[in-house]
Structure 1
Amino acid sequence: MATAVDTGPEKSNSKEQILPSIAATNADADSPITALPVGPQNASPTPKKSWAFKVTILSLCLVSLVVTLDATSIAIALPKIANELKTSEYVWMANCFVLSQTVVQPPCAQLCNIFGRRWPMILSLTLFAIGSGIAGGARNVGALIAGRTIQGAGSGGLNLLSELIICDLVPLRERSKYFGMVLSVGALGTILGPPIGGVIAQRDWRWIFYLNVPVAGLVILVMFFFLRLKHVREPSIRRALLRIDWIGSFLFIGATSSFLFGLISGGTSPQYAWSSFRVIVPIVLGIVGWIVFYIFETSRFCLEPSVPSHLFRTRNSSAGFYITFTSSMLMVWVAYFWPVYFQSLHSASTQQAGTNILPYVAFLIPVSVVAGVALTRFGQYLPFHFAGFALCALGLGLNTLLTQHTNTATWATFQAINGIGLAMLFPSILPAILAALPESSAATATGFFSFLRSFGLVWGITIPALIFNNEFDRLAAQRIDDPVLRAKLANGNAYESVGAETSLVKGLEEGSREQVVDVYTRALRMVWIVAVAFAVSGFLSVFVERNIPLRTSLDTEFGLDEGGGKETADVVREKKSEGRTNDSLA
């Protein structure tokens, strides 16, 4: 049964009930009507949160910590794992996780609408634990990749459900505060992951995976007993299964997997040249598959789309999805290329480079929390989007000034500006997207939001690496005299060499060292220039948005179950139909 808060006179309520249906029929946010609040704005003070609510939020924070710890700790252990398993497939040991994490999110969002949130969350935690166990016990690269793929599928569901459950528990106006909390704990995992992974890898890398199992098991128990969310059940399993967008999900997963396979194969640590048919064919098939998917989703044959077209027919949602992709891409762009700067221009070790980027990561945590609380307090997300992208563009522009002689205070300040700009965006994007959509679209909108966020991470590694490698090769041909050294650094090796051979630059003769450092400096400058262009495009996209007031009431079928009983979907539909009839008569 839906949970609603009545906070205004009867006349106002009629308008509020009509507005969601207008949004659901794909009205554009330019309309004066859709620019109005989609829910009551003068709600009574928020009631005190129950202990079940607090336990749920704490569990979501723990889930975020576990997932980010795993993702970041494995990165530093990959070389040792690859050496022990005697394989060169380190690229896919990392990227199979990202691929499976990305493709499952929109189909998972539809399953959450059909089967509720509780069991998909428990299933995602179970997959994450099983995948961790398989990866930890792997004796060959095939088993490790299989385990990481299962882990990724579980992680994709966990990332989506962490935000979706918050949407079910609190009104839109309050969500950014809790998004900020969960994101901040995830950022803490990002900070702790590399040093923890390094310590564990020195002894036995398998425990990086094994430790996930008991932690995930503990969260499963907590979720099983305390995560009690309402769920409108179909009268039979057959009816529920018929609602699943089987064809659309198959097309989406196939197309996205194909596209990402090609992108990763020719990306940061290229297995094939970009002109290779092994790269071109999967990318082309992926694009064609997306076109077919879109045609099917908008056709009369798709009864319940997993990615409904009305998600893109408002200004706020369209701009918000682009902002999601761009900010996610810039986050990993910055995180990957600051270490390259330290390792190439300052001859820092991997551990030193990881320590040196702490100013960037450290500002992500408190600023995300402050931004979330401020958005809850004032209800204005456009200032955060404008300020966030403005600071991003400023910080990335300042990064173009970096040289081997830049002092610590200067580069730490640049990192702080990078971190503050991105932190202002993270908790404020999803509320802006949902503001123009009815509450019934929360799952599908959050699913596509999570997909774009993961998709942006892949592009945030691939695009700057491609720019860096091409620019380095072009400049090396002009500025490095030694042909042997030039060949050693060509074709993507300059990017990999800074991590694999930390003494490479330091060990060169003075003349060659100056030339190599000069080329690294100029290639990195081009990476930051292109990043500025993306930040500016994000800033311009904010002008497309409108500041639609955030709903202060909660109208959902998936809130906390406090013993109100269970109803089937048919009963709920009948009640809704009666409600609409009464509204029209009034």
Structure 2
Amino acid sequence: MSAKPMTHRQIMEALSGLLLVLFVAMASSTIVSTALPTIIGALDGSQTQYTWVVTASLLTATASTPIWGKLADLFSKKLLVQISIVVFVVGSMVAGLAQTAPQLIAARAFQGLGMGGVQALVQIAIAAMIPPRERGRYNGYLGGVMAVATVGGPLLGGVIVDTAWLGWRWCFYIGVPIAIIALVVLQKTLNLAVIRRENVKVDYLGATLIAAGVSTLLIWVSFVDSSFAWLSWQTYAMVGLGLVLLALAVWVESRVAEPVVPLDIVKKRGTALAIIASLSVGMAMFGGAVFLGQYFQIGRGYSPTEAGLLTIPMMAGVLVSSTISGRLISKTGRIKPYIVAGTIVLVAGFAGLSMLDHETPLWYVGISMALVGIGVGMSMQNLVLSVQNTVSLKDIGAASSTIAFFRSLGGTIGVSVLGAVLAHRVTDNLTHELAAAGMSSSGSAASSSSLNLSVLPDAIQHLVRAAYGDATGHIFLISAAVAVVGVVAAAFMKPTDLRSTVDLGAPSLNEESKEPALAR
């Protein structure tokens, strides 16, 4: 039995709480991304640890997303959103208390469990309220919140770090009161039908195998060529174990009654292609924010606040393109042209960023970042929408979390791989420059202390900045190559019209109610 359609006012009231939750999760990541050079410097961490502060939260968010999605198909979506917020708040508080880089990484891993729940469940709740055809215009609100979080986050993080009486720990504490407000708003506004099913089991084994397999491969990527050689017993053991675990995960998923990643959904042509495209968009969304902030601060010498301001072109691109494309999609019912165009623009943006060095004009960097933002805004939310359009309401949680899982996985792999490449490239550049200047490369400049520039002599600081600035372009060249795969996947997607009903086979909302759910 289908639920009564929600009026526009009811949808907007519920969206207020959901978007506030999403803002908390998104801002927590962007606040930290700008502050990371200062945080890791204060904790005397290394480039590898810098990468893992980001990777840890992305990895646990990725691994938990399918579980949150499956639980959303079985239990109260409202309760699950509230639980995910509580987990996020606890993780934030513990991260703020960290005394070492490993402690911070562990806290961020726990925080990621809550972030994964928030990001997946917001999409699922919106899908349960609004038909795909009309969801495009609401995706504009979604894109707007994401843009505000991603623009305001770096600025806020920079201000916190640059304010002596606050300190970097408030980058983690600042989201706690906002999360509490979100809990109160959700309690009042979010009311979704709960469909209870008997004798249902959640596939924790499959989720554990997926998380373990991905984690093993990412750990290998982080340490190969620095702690051990590419062709070594460590490589064979870690890659072999990772592949075996993932193969077992596929085997389990194909046999359990309630898989966390439903293979029947994944095997559909449209979903499979959307997943491939989402991997490249995930790399753009996470890799761009993480490494551009580091480029501006370490490679160019700007303060955290200035670095936040310099990322505005990318975030403005996300805001404008997601809003405009969402409106056009709702008007036409067509989605493929916007996804294809978005992925092409994404490649162009990454190609532009691949030319970066430590002296690149800021106007050029700004244009390239804007292109990346436009590409992400036109493709990221619309890829989720394209998958939601093909499944029934009872499977919306699993389908939404599956596409979010692979997007987050793309970001996790991107940050880990690009971080490892950056670390190796910086070490090579710095060693070469130190040798050319007649200095020894055996000191700490090329190792763990290279992110704590304040303790280095001026001459070494200049070399470190040049090494980071020149290495950054190389990792975005890799991103451009990966983004091309997204263009190909989007091009092969089947053109479809978005349905105007919440569920497959249900009557149109405009036929069912005299007051359209989306009345202006």
| TM-score of the superposed pair, with normalisation by structure 2 | 0.83
Alignment of 1:185 onto 2:145: yes
Equivalent position of 1:2 in the other structure: 2
Separation in 2, partners of 1:525, 1:74:
22
Tell me, in whole angstroms, the C-alpha distance in 2 between the residues paired with 1:79 and 1:534: 26
Of residues 510, 525, 547 in structure 1, which corresponds to 2:495? 547
Amino acid in structure 2 at the alignment position of 1:293:
A
User: 1:205-354 maps to which residues of 2 (within 5 A)?
Assistant: 205-234=168-197, 239-240=199-200, 243-264=201-222, 281-299=237-255, 302-339=256-293, 341-342=295-296, 346-354=300-308
Superposed displacement of residue 426, structure 1: 1.9
- 2 CA distance for matches of 1:262 and 1:409? 37
Q: Secondary structure at the match of 2:261?
A: coil
Verify: 1:529 aligned to 2:477, yes or no: yes
Task: Please report how far the alpha carbon of residue 257 of structure 1 lies from its aligned counterpart in structure 2 after TM superposition.
Answer: 3.7
Q: 1:156: Cα distance to partner?
A: 0.6
Match of 2:396 in 1: 442
What percentage of residue pairs aligned between the two structures are identical? 25
The alpha-carbon distance between structure 1 residues 339 and 516, as it changes in their structure 2 partners (threshold 3 A), is closer
Q: Which residue of 2 aligns with 1:72?
A: 30
Find the structure with the greater CA-based Rg: 1
Question: Does the C-alpha gap of structure 1 residues 80 and 119 become closer, same or farther in structure 2, counting only changes over 3 Å?
Answer: same
2: distance between equivalents of 1:142 and 1:520? 23
* Residue type of the alignment partner of 1:304: E
Answer whether contact 1:102 1:451 (CA < 8 A) is retained. yes
- The answer (yes or no) to whether the contact 1:180–1:427 under 8 Å persists in 2 is no
Post-superposition offset of 1:105: 0.8
Aligned 1:366-445 pairs, distance under 5 A: 366-402=320-356, 406-445=360-399
Match of 1:168 among 109, 128, 135: 128
* Alpha-carbon shift at residue 98 of structure 1 (Å): 2.3
Residue in structure 2 matched with residue 49 of structure 1 by the alignment: 8
2:453 aligns with one of 501, 518, 533? 501
Quick one: structure 1 residues 98 and 396, their matched pair in 2 at CA, closer, same or farther if it must change by over 3 Å? closer
* Aligned-partner Cα distance in 2 for 1:390–1:357: 21
The aligned residue for residue 508 of structure 2 is: none
Q: Which runs of 5+ in 2 are unaligned?
A: 506-520
1:149 partner letter: A
Per-residue Cα deviation, 1:100-148 (whole angstroms, up to 9, x for no partner): 2121111221111111312211111121122233334556767655543
Matched residue count: 500
Give secondary structure in 1 for the equivalent of 2:2: coil
Q: Is the 8 A contact 2:320 2:374 kept in 1?
A: no
Matched, 1:481 2:439: no
**How far off its partner does 1:86 sit?**
7.6
Q: CA–CA distance in 1 between the matches of 2:417 and 2:295?
A: 17
1:369-398 Cα deviation digits (max 9, x unpaired): 222122111122221122112222222333
Distance in 2 (alpha carbons) for counterparts of 1:387 and 1:188:
23
**Counterpart for residue 127 of structure 1:** 87
Alpha-carbon distance change, 324 to 365 in structure 1, aligned in 2, over 3 angstroms: same
CA distance in 2, matches of 1:109, 1:362: 30
2:486 is aligned with 1:538: yes
After superposition, the Cα gap between the structure-2 partners of 1:488 and 1:451, relative to the gap in structure 1 and judged at 3 Å, is farther
- Partners of 1:282 and 1:317 lie apart in 2 by 30
CA distance in 2, matches of 1:395, 1:298: 39
- The Cα of 1:170 is off from its aligned counterpart by 0.4
Change (3 A) 1:423 1:333: same
Aligned residue in 2 for 1:112 = 72
Q: Write out per-residue CA displacement over residues 208-242 of structure 1, whole angstroms, 9 at most, x where no aligned residue.
A: 3334333222222222333211112235xxx24xx
Q: CA deviation at 1:487?
A: 6.0
Is 1:96 paired with 2:56?
Answer: yes
8 Å contact 2:37–2:294 — kept in the other structure?
Answer: no
Residue 363 of structure 1, aligned match among 317, 324, 335: 317
Cα–Cα, structure 1 residues 272 and 191, in superposed 2: closer, same or farther, change >3 Å?
farther
CA contact (8 A) 1:77 1:197 kept: yes
Q: Superposition RMSD on alpha carbons, in Å?
A: 3.7
What is the deviation of 1:436? Answer: 3.4
Rate the CA distance shift 1:213–1:416 in 2: closer, same or farther, 3 A: closer
Q: 2:21 aligns with which of 63, 66, 87?
A: 63
| Cα distance in structure 1, aligned partners of 2:470 and 2:43 | 37
Closer, same or farther: CA 280–505 of 1 in aligned 2, 3 Å: farther
> In structure 1, what is the Cα distance between the partners aligned to 2:87 and 2:42?
25
Say whether the 8 Å CA contact 2:209–2:249 is kept in structure 1: yes
Contact 2:297 2:307 in 1 (8 A): yes
1:471 shift after superposition: 5.0
Distance 2:106 2:441 in 1: 38
Q: What is the Cα deviation at residue 356 of structure 1? A: 2.1
Q: Is the 8 A contact 1:4 1:554 kept in 2?
A: no
The one-letter code of the counterpart of 1:229 is L
**Unmatched 5+ stretches in structure 1:** 6-46, 558-586
Give the distance between the partners of 1:151 and 1:60, measured in 2 at CA. Answer: 18
Note the alpha carbon deviations across 1:288-326, whole angstroms, 9 max, x for none.
111111112213xx1222211112222211110011110
The answer to which of 398-407 and 326-335 deviates more is 398-407
Q: Work out the CA distance in 2 between the residues paired with 1:400 and 1:79.
A: 21
CA contact 1:4–1:556 (8 Å) conserved in 2: no
Q: Secondary structure at the match of 2:502?
A: coil
Distance between the aligned counterparts of 1:288 and 1:350, measured in 2?
A: 42
Partners of 1:539 and 1:90 in 2: how far apart? 30
